[in-house]
Amino acid sequence: MMQLLRNLLLALTLALVPAGAAILAAPDAAHAQQPPDAPDYERWEALADRASNAIANQRASLAAFEKLREDIAEWRTVFANAQSINASAIATLEAQLKALGPAPAEGEEESADIAREREALNDRLAELRAPVTQAQAAYSEADEMIRSVDRIIRERQTEELLERGPSPLNPAHWSEGVGAFFSTFTTVRAEVLGLLASPTERAALTSTLPAVALISLIGLVLLVRGRFWAEWLVRMLLPVKVTSGVWLIRFVMSLGEIVMPVLGMLLLAVAAGISGLVATHASALIDSLFGAVFIFLVARWLSRRLFAREDDGRLPLRLEADDRRKGRLYGALLGIVVAVLYLLRDVADGNGWTSEARVVVVFPIMVIAGLLLIRLARLLAVHCRASDQTDDDTDSGANTYRSRLGRLLSRLLTGVAVAAPFLAGVGYYKLGMGLLLPSLMSLMLMATILVLRGVVVEIYVLATRKSEGTSDDLVPMLAGFVLVLLSLPVFALIWGARVADLSELWVRFKRGVTLGDLTISPTIFLTLAVVFTLGFVLTRVLQGTLKNSLLPKTKMEMGARDAIVSGVGYVGILLAALIAITSAGIDLSSLAIVAGALSVGIGFGLQNIVSNFVSGIILLIERPISQGDWIEVNGQHGTVREISVRSTRIETFDRSDLIIPNSDLVSGVVTNYTKGSTVGRLIVKVGVAYGTDTKWVEGILREIATDHPMVLMNPEPTILFRGFGTDSYDFEIRAILRDVNWIMNVASDMNHAIAKRFSEEGIEIPYQQRDLWLRNPEMLTGAAAGAAQKKGAEPDAPQPKPEAQHMDDGDGAGDPDGDGR
């Protein structure tokens, strides 16, 4: 576990690539005799018998089972490679048998030569398939053994984790813990003093003392002052306005806060080795100290990145200056806690501490770690509240999901901080440590991901020269998602997964999924994706060349050129798909059942989609409408902007998009005003008052029509006297325009000219006049009669007889409804 922890931290900090830890964490156990390149089934049977006995008895240790699993996995790789033996020869024989045709049915005969040839080919095919079949059987046996060993290891790890041991709260164990702690340092001291007592060692130390002193001095200075020098260099690059380039340079230079102290530790270790005063226990202690210091440096660097001093608008967490100061303090203290836990576990394993001593020494550190986790959880909750407040003020929910995750993480950290010391206190020390230490390591890994995402955002800003909203752009979001995916193996290793477990998942992933006779593996999928992408890109390049370079130089109209470009796109994508499927080695015949089911689905549920697709092909080939045409369909006018595989996009004159299924354009009535020519007819209607000289009006209208530049003179515009309307003589101007797309503008221009000329010539344009008859006029005087009665009028006085009254348009001013009521 300590070796795994060391390698994980080394990968996280030096490489800054979380996925690299999975590789660096591989165990350094010595390998046994390697299996041969070709299967040696006698050696395999011996190993298989030994593995079967170990699995059946389950008496071997965990280390022995791990070594056994590693050996079986190597043999399984040999068997996997052996399954491709004679693949070319087998494919050739199968092709020859297929050329001979199917074997005759029972009772039928075939020629003797063909029968002999078929028999020889079958015998040779069986001979070539024999080693492949044997390798497949051995592979299955090895795979099943690996599963059994993994199951045994997991069960033992679970039992060990849930095993109850001594409690650190029992005073009886305290003296043993203190004694073991001092005994370790006494042992190291005794080793050093024993070496100094040797004259040979003293002489060697005397000869190397100047070099040891110089190297130790340099290492000590770098260890103590290296971080401050790196910080000073970073502060020197702090202009008034921090750009993305400057930020990235500062970030790279901030790594000196880790590199320089680490270099100092290395020099101190070298000096200790040169001195000759380092024996077994001292060497192990130096290695543990190096790992502990490294952990602390990484944790402190991460806390300084997350809780930066300066607010340059790039803070990962929305905290005030005082909260950021607390965050730096808590992060550094947690780094010390993790470093001490790492050091104590290494020392305990190397010196054989008892369970009682280990629990007593480590438990206070666990309590301190829990308190610090609670403090960090509170800071995370403050950040979430600040994010929610910002979202409410800006009416934006972009960070709502992240705020929820932050609150959940805050609660989980609080739970771990309480549960881990409690479990250790009641005797479940291993379970408590199995919960606390992975939580701390996961927190460091999440901090690393957050810092790296900030680096990606700054690189994106530098490349695109954007500054607003870049954190939520597509590229940074995808980069963050990729970082999370790459970190998943590291999270798995931190939480107890073995490297063998990850390698097994990778083997099964590469093996793929089998659907009937079709196997879909990552290799097949990658080949399919790469070949199809290349074909798609080449198709787009060819379309761009045709559209922008070749076709514009021909005499084809725009619609024909668009049809050719679209047709090339469809054909190219189809060919790219077929070539990709063939290159990936997918047998299309194995998809016959799927294709049959798909055809049934097309016949019932997808018939509209297929109808629109076929209609789109018809539109592209027949071209009754083309891009740029002005059409009318279903009472809607607009310009065709795009003919796609399912629908056609029409831009109406109010600049809205109208999406029409292609089947409606093929089966419905469509008026194309610009098909083949933009020449079209304009009709302008006008009426003049009765009594006006009609020939005079006709001449004026003819002058107006012929004077407009958009009107063609061949054929000449026509002025029609359409008849006698209700209020006027009705005339029409019928003119042919050179571009019918300007019909509305020309109509407006002619109406302006007609109004102007008629006004100058004194020609009246009539408007409708109506007579209003009131059927009951006495209702209008009812209020006056009532008032007269109140003044003393005789009630029996005769009233005037109602008469019908005629009112013209001006008399109805007091009756807004015009109905006489």
Each residue's pLDDT tens digit, 172-185: 888 888 888 788 88
Q: What is the pLDDT of residue 179?
A: 87
Ranked by mean pLDDT, the top range of 25-39, 369-383, 545-559 is 369-383
Task: Report residue 770's pLDDT band, with 50, 70 and 90 as the boundaries.
Answer: low
- Residue 19: pLDDT band (50, 70, 90) is very low
Specify the range with the lowest mean pLDDT, choosing from 111-120, 501-510, 731-740: 501-510
Rounded CA gap, 422 and 440, in Å?
17
Mean pLDDT of 508-520: 66
Residue 308 has pLDDT above 90, yes or no: no
Q: DSSP alpha helices (H): ranges in 605-687?
A: 607-622, 662-667
- Read off φ and ψ for residue 565, nearest 5 degrees: -60, -45
- Lowest mean pLDDT segment, chosen from 205-209, 549-553, 767-771, 816-820: 816-820
Candidate ranges 149-163, 225-239, 361-375; pick with highest mean pLDDT: 361-375
What residues does each domain of the chain span?
Answer: 33-102+110-161, 206-276, 285-390+399-511, 513-605, 680-761, 775-814
Q: How far is CA 60 from CA 57, 67, 153, 728, in A?
A: 8, 11, 10, 114
CATH number of the domain located at residue range(s) 680-761 in this protein = 3.30.70.100
Q: Is the backbone peptide bond immediately before 800 cis, with ω within 30 degrees of 0?
A: no
pLDDT tens, position by position, 596-630: 666 666 666 667 777 888 888 788 777 788 888 88
Q: What pLDDT score was predicted for residue 283?
A: 82
Residue with more model confidence, 546 or 240? 546
Tallying the residues shown for the chain, one arrives at 821
What is the C-alpha separation between 599 and 601, in angstroms, rounded? 5
**Amino acid 241: pLDDT:** 66
Residue 597 has what pLDDT?
A: 63
Give 228-261 pLDDT, tens digit per residue: 888 887 777 655 566 777 788 888 888 888 999 9
What local confidence, expressed as pLDDT, does residue 588 receive? Answer: 63
Of 152-161, 169-178, 305-314, 354-363, which range is least confident?
305-314
- Nearest Cα to Cα of residue 168 among 157, 178, 153: 178
More confident: 517 or 310 = 310
CA atoms within 13 A on the CB side of 73: 22
Q: Is the pLDDT score of 802 beyond 50?
A: no
CB 510, CB 523: distance < 8 Å: yes
Which residue matches tokens 């909260």? 323
Mean pLDDT of the chain: 80
Task: Give the residue from 724, 707, 728, 706 showing the smallest Cα distance to 715.
Answer: 706
